[in-house]
Amino acid sequence: MSVIWAGIIVLGVFIYVVMDGFDLGVGILFPFYQDRDDRDVMMNTIAPVWDGNETWLVLGGAGLMAAFPVVYSTVLSALYLPIMLMLIGLILRGVAFEFRFKASEHRRHIWDKSFAGGSLLATLMQGVTLGAIMMGLEIRNGVFVGGAFDWFSPFSIFTGCALVVGYVFLGSTWLVMKTEGRLQEQMRKTARVSTALIAGVIAAISLWTPMLHAYIARRWFDQQTFYWFLPVPVLVLACLMLLWRTLGSGRRNGSPFALALCITFLGYSGLVISLMPIIVPPSLTIWAAAAPASSQGFALVGALFIIPIIIGYTAWSYYVFRGKVRHGEHYH
Amino acid sequence: MRTADSVSNHDLSHLAVSLALLAFIYLLVFGTGTAMGLRMLATAPRKGESAPEGSPCELNQPVRPLSGSASVPAHH
């Protein structure tokens, strides 16, 4: 049962990273596109779907509380400040969707800044949270006993910046798919730059992570399992090269985003391979952190009922809003 | 378990700062929303304005409270 719940949370967080990833990325890209109409188009590509994307963050959090309460309480205590800042970032960018289109000409720039700044802050803090969890939390008897700033480390700052690159990467390939003409051409260039950056970031994280904990190095470089996990880095490399060429050719619309999704999936699977079955490094496993089987079972009934519904309406809303977004189309 | 037993070991100062920050953000957001709402109420109907045509989900029909507050294009 713990394995099923770990699977649900891993899946929920992955869907969140992918979906809120591209729309936060669009926000971070805002300052690089000054034209008002371009900004309207960029925002309109995500306006119908962004709030649904954040459902998965709530699902991941609620699932964690039901299935692994120790993780919920220790992670949220240890990372209180970054998580609060992330939520404030999400509030600032969320209201910008409503207010920006209604603000008067000379006030609109406030909401542009709140959209871009909020997106950047939320992304940075999510990356810092991930990095801090990877580093490990000091837990004794199921209680976090470290300091309020334990999360602050070179590695977590790096993962914060790395996630910004990752989300810009997803956001720019998303915009290649959703826009056309001059804006799309510019997006292809941005996407190419972010592809080069993400390649560097993936390389750095792949080298740095095994140095954090000996068991991560063993997982990847052990004689017996080395070839099992070798396809992950090989496929990442193949996808990156294919994406670089596709963006250079300037013809395809959807495939850059599809390739970016593949790369995100591979990177995320690398993370899961590194950690499993540990849920909070250095030593808390999913079995040690599990809630009583009766609680896990009770919550599982609800989760298995609601997840297909969420997937259903999400797929439907993407289907309804498929295709290109054009200048002058209004958000109501 | 009583509330006092379940308290996490955060510094008072961190909690105070984050609470103040949240209060500030909420005041800002809801203040702006209220200002936009008041502006909406202050706008008198134009002379000879007819009732909006079509169903609530069609173009140029405001579907959320704020959609009505500013330049919704009159006719496409």
pLDDT (tens digit per residue) in A51-94: 888 888 888 888 999 999 989 988 988 899 999 999 999 999 99
Q: How many domains does chain A have?
A: 1
Look at A80 and B9 and tell me if their CB atoms are within 8 Å.
Answer: no
State the pLDDT at residue B72: 41
Question: Does A328 reside within a domain?
Answer: no
Residue A212 in this model has a pLDDT that exceeds 60? yes
Helix (H, G, I), strand (E, B) or coil at A267: helix
Question: Does A30 reside within a domain?
Answer: yes
Sign of CA dihedral A191, A193, A199, A203: negative
Question: Does A331 reside within a domain?
Answer: no
Count CB neighbours of A326 within 10 A: 11
User: What residue of B is the nearest CA neighbor of A97?
Assistant: B66
Residue B71 in this model has a pLDDT that exceeds 50? no
> A77 is written with which tokens?
């205590």
- Map tokens 């008072």 to a residue: B12
Of A73, A92, A102, Cβ closest to residue B69: A102
Question: Does A327 reside within a domain?
Answer: no
Of A73, A95, A332, Cβ closest to residue B29: A95
State the pLDDT at residue A2: 85
> A11 is written with which tokens?
């899946």
Distance (Å, whole) CA A317 – CA A305: 20
Question: Does A31 reside within a domain?
Answer: yes
User: What residue of A is the nearest CA neighbor of B63?
Assistant: A332
Question: Does A123 reside within a domain?
Answer: yes
Global confidence as pTM? 0.88
Query: Does residue A128 contact residue A156 with C-beta atoms inside 8 Å?
Result: yes
Which residues does A contribute to its contact with B (CB < 8 Å)?
73, 77, 80-81, 84, 88, 91-92, 95, 98-99, 101-104, 143-145, 148, 330, 332
Domain, as residue range, for A293: 2-320
State the pLDDT at residue A198: 93
* Chain B closest-CA separation from residue A245 CA (Å): 40
Enter the ipTM: 0.74
Question: Does A326 reside within a domain?
Answer: no
> A233 is written with which tokens?
């880095």
Question: Does A332 reside within a domain?
Answer: no
Distance (Å, whole) CA A139 – CA A79: 13
Share of chain A above pLDDT 70, in %: 98
* Chain B closest-CA separation from residue A289 CA (Å): 18
- What does the mean pLDDT of chain A come to? 88
